[in-house]
Each structure stands twice: as C-alpha cells, then as structure tokens.
Amino acid sequence: MSSESFLKEVQAIGEKFLLKLQKLPKAEPVEIVSFSVVLLFIVTVLVLTIIACSCCCCSCCGCDGRPEPRRKSQVSPAAH
C-alpha cells in the first residue's frame, strides 16, 4: 500500500468520523450509546497499549535507560 493511498484512507475515515460527530446531537439514544461504547473501547485499547509498552520498557531498560543485568537462577530437581 503506497503512502498516498494510506493517507487518503485515513482522511476518508476521519471525514466519516467528523460526519458522525456532527449528526450525533440529532441521533437516536441507541446510536449515541453504541457510538459511545465503540469510542470507549478504542480509548481503552489505546490506554492499555501505552501502559503495556511503558511497563515493558521500564522493566527491561530501567528508568535511567540502561539495561538491567539479568539474574540467572539455578533450577534444582524437586525432592520426592
């Protein structure tokens, strides 16, 4: 997919979203609730992705940007 077609697709989606927002005050309550649920889902996914990425980055690199040395653990056989 070329960058021009991708930009056109994003622009088309943005225009549809703005059109939906403009029609929202006149919409039925069911449409308002369903639009809110979809919007809440998208926001939740984005927030959880940001949290997961930040936790992953902090756990492997530390807060100062240097990688933390990994500890080697010894595995011993279980006693019966």
pLDDT at residue 21 in the model: 84
Write down the pTM of the prediction: 0.53
pLDDT at 59: 61
Predicted local confidence at residue 58, as pLDDT? 65
Helical ranges in the chain per DSSP H: 3-23, 29-61
Q: Is 6 exposed, middle or buried (0-12, 13-18, 19+ CB in 10 A)?
A: exposed
Rounded mean pLDDT of 65-76? 65
CA gap 79, 4 in Å, rounded: 64
pLDDT of residue 24: 83
| 15-56 confidence digits (pLDDT tens) | 998 888 888 888 899 988 998 998 899 999 999 999 988 877
Statement: residue 11 has pLDDT above 60: yes
